[in-house]
Amino acid sequence: MFKNPINLAFEKLSGQLDEPKWLQQKRSDALKKFQEYGLPTRKSELWKYTNAKKLEKLEEVTDIADGNDYFVFTIKGELPQDTLMQNILEIDEKSWKNIKTDKERTFVELNTTMLNGGFALTIPKNSQLKLHIQYQQVSKDWENIRTVINVGENAELDLTESYDYDCRINHVSVINMSTDSRLKLHSNKHLRKTAALIHFAQINCAQNVSIEQGTINNNAALSHSITEVNFNGQHSEFEAASVNVVHDSCHISENILVNHKVQNCKSNVIKRSLATDKASVALNAKAVVYKAADGSDVAQSLKNILLTDEASIYSKPELEINTDDVIAAHGSTIGELDETSLTYLRSRGIPKEQAKFMLIESFLQDANIFKTEDFLDRIEL
Amino acid sequence: MLNIKNIHAQVGDNKILKGLNLEIKPGEVHAIMGPNGAGKSTLGNVLAGMEKVEVTQGSVDFLGKDLLDLEIEQRAAEGIFLAFQYPVEIPGVNNMYFLRAALNAQRKYRGEKEMNSSEFLKLVRTKIKQMNMRDDLLRRPVNEGFSGGEKKRNEIFQMSILEPKLAILDETDSGLDIDALKIVADGVNQLRDDNRSFIVITHYQRLLDYIVPDYVHVLADGKIVRSGDKSLAIELEKTGYGWLED
Ligand SMILES: Nc1ncnc2c1ncn2[C@@H]1O[C@H](COP(=O)(O)OP(=O)(O)O)[C@@H](O)[C@H]1O
Ligand SMILES: [Mg+2]
């Protein structure tokens, strides 16, 4: 994935691919940047508790999807007329969106350098779409995938994203929400204990946008995500609830940055994490309220449970508020299962392990944003 | 049914029960009274198996079994029920779900068939009526946002569903108005039969007007210092516990 191999891979890629000059240029610019940044180290805030070196020592992929498709689309219901779908390697330069990177976001540059595939999807205004996208592992190497989704004015998208169980995916996704559009985003990152997923997501909101996101992060040797939400128009709302459950020596790092750039937007970030064995979780939830962004409403709730002495969780909620008229609430707790509750359940005849399980279930249910019945069935506890 | 012999128990270094003896036969109701801090709740905790209490000496035989040898949940399944002085709130765990899990865990332990949800619902409906419980409480998380009185009634409701052989009520009457008190007493009286016994821990003889005990004991400084019948409770109401000082 890194320095030397990458030069080779890149030269090979650029020699073989029949693609526009501008894209080749993007690749080589990105490579320069990636080499300048290097691998993230513990000096980077968003990688402080994540050992990026683990990515160099991953076990081999055992499960490869048939065919060469990086993703499988399943459309539920009807596909709105005028829906536009393009191969990311065939879009025009204007449609390419440069993402501002830094040392923390070095893998975004690597993604551009090595880009294998992806799409740009545009959903027309006033339409509705329900879609499931499965990101597939088609080789033994890292799959570098870039996706762009544009949700038109007053359109509604219900999107479920999931990843192959044994993946090595570096995913960069951009979602652009037009005025009055709505998004329900279900992210299922239920991974094998040897899998690795690096995900950078940017969500840009115009005016009066509503987004609900429910994420399940379950295991992986290393799963690292950075989500950036930008409120560019007023009266938009973003509510995200995620569950992180790790076993063995798995590691999940989930980082979210919400930029309240304009007035009267609302964000609510809920995280419920559970670590057992020697597993670890690292969480950063940051909201920045810009100087003129009066009337912002910001909430963060991070609750964490450690089930063993060797498990570890780092959890940091952070508010940076540069104006006066703001409603803000944040909290973070790390603890064990409540002993008093456990005893109470047992005193009614419920065996200890079952009682623990009941308390864990109820803890995680806080993050069941879509109130789905099978929520817990989808998590390996 | 229950035979407590020379129990010594402590929490940390704090010795609380200091040689307590008590025998209870099937069908009997024993009231335990005594000053604050005497060790009444600790006695309940020893019987129910709370882990923070350490028994250093003595034995407890319950229906032929060495009770002290059993885990909390095993004791419950063997038929011990403790109505807590301070019931615990468990956010996120639904009352009905909890109760069915408890009942089925106990039935499983005893080798009985587990109840499916419709059988359970039927059982709950009858009990709710008998107990005058508000059924919306059952759809809420365990004790969450319940008033003090509602929590106590929920304990009794749980008892009526689980049908223990020995129920220990730890100040279930405190903080209840007279109507709630009657409901609690009713719940107990409905369960009273020749095989089921009760230990009723209380400060006030008021409750004993409704749940008439066979025996009344005074627990002070970790021991039972006096035993009598219901008239002892009436006497205590008049004299208080000042005489213990002598
Ligand atoms: N968990 C505990 N930790 C420390 N001390 C305790 C604990 N539980 C009870 N005690 C002490 O033990 C003594 C007896 O308490 P308790 O059994 O609750 O009395 P009662 O129920 O008769 O009022 C008191 O002095 C009390 O402070
Ligand atoms: Mg007490």
Q: What is the pLDDT of residues A19-58, one digit of tens each?
A: 888 998 999 899 999 999 999 999 999 999 999 999 999 9
Pairwise CB contact (< 8 Å): B98 & A341: no
The region that residue B222 occupies, defined by phi over 0 for left and psi between -120 and 50 for alpha, beta otherwise, is: left
* Whether residue A1 has pLDDT greater than 60: no
Q: Is B39 in the pocket of ligand 1 (CB under 6 A)?
A: yes
Q: Is B33 in the pocket of ligand 1 (CB under 6 A)?
A: no
B91: chain A residues, CB-CB within 8 Å:
362
- Which of A169, A158, A130, A189 shows the shortest CA–CA distance to A378? A189
Select the residue of B71, B92, B102 nearest A366 (Cβ to Cβ). Answer: B92
pLDDT at A12: 56
A358: chain B residues, CB-CB within 8 Å:
93, 97-98, 101
Distance from CA of B58 to the nearest CA of A (A): 22
Nearest CA to ligand 1 atom 17: B39
**Which residues lie closer than 8 Å to A3 by C-beta, 6 or more apart?**
A35
Structural contact between residues B113 and B107, judged by C-beta atoms closer than 8 angstroms: yes
Q: Is B51 in the pocket of ligand 1 (CB under 6 A)?
A: no
**Which residues lie closer than 8 Å to B145 by C-beta, 6 or more apart?**
B89
Select the residue of B72, B97, B99 nearest A346 (Cβ to Cβ). Answer: B72
A39 CA to centre of ligand 1 in angstroms: 57
pLDDT band of residue A121 (cuts 50, 70, 90) is very high
Strand partners, A72: A134
pLDDT digits (tens, 9 = 90+) for B32-66: 999 999 999 999 999 999 999 999 999 999 999 99
CB atoms within 10 A of CB B209: 13
pLDDT at B246: 57
pLDDT at A242: 98
pLDDT at A8: 59
B103: chain A residues, CB-CB within 8 Å:
349
Nearest CA to ligand 1 atom 7: B11
pLDDT at A205: 98
Helices marked H in B133-205 = 136-139, 148-162, 178-191
* Whether residue A69 has pLDDT greater than 80: yes
pLDDT at A15: 61
pLDDT band of residue B131 (cuts 50, 70, 90) is confident
B39 CA to centre of ligand 2 in angstroms: 7
How are strands ordered across the β-sheet holding B80-83?
B80-83, B166-170, B197-201, B29-33, B215-220, B223-228
CA atoms B152, B155, B157, B160: torsion sign: negative
pLDDT band of residue A2 (cuts 50, 70, 90) is low
Pairwise CB contact (< 8 Å): A346 & B141: no
- Which of A348, A326, A314, A216 shows the shortest CA–CA distance to A262? A326
* Whether residue A9 has pLDDT greater than 80: no
Question: Would you say how long chain A is, in residues?
Answer: 381
Burial (CB < 10 A; 0-12, 13-18, 19+), residue A354, is middle
Start-to-end CA distance of chain B, whole Å, equals 34
Mean of the pLDDT values across residues B22-40? 95
pLDDT band of residue B193 (cuts 50, 70, 90) is very high
* Whether residue A16 has pLDDT greater than 70: no
B18 CA to centre of ligand 1 in angstroms: 13
pLDDT digits (tens, 9 = 90+) for A123-173: 999 999 999 999 999 999 999 999 999 999 999 999 999 999 999 999 999
pLDDT band of residue B241 (cuts 50, 70, 90) is confident
pLDDT at B238: 86
Pairwise CB contact (< 8 Å): A347 & B82: yes
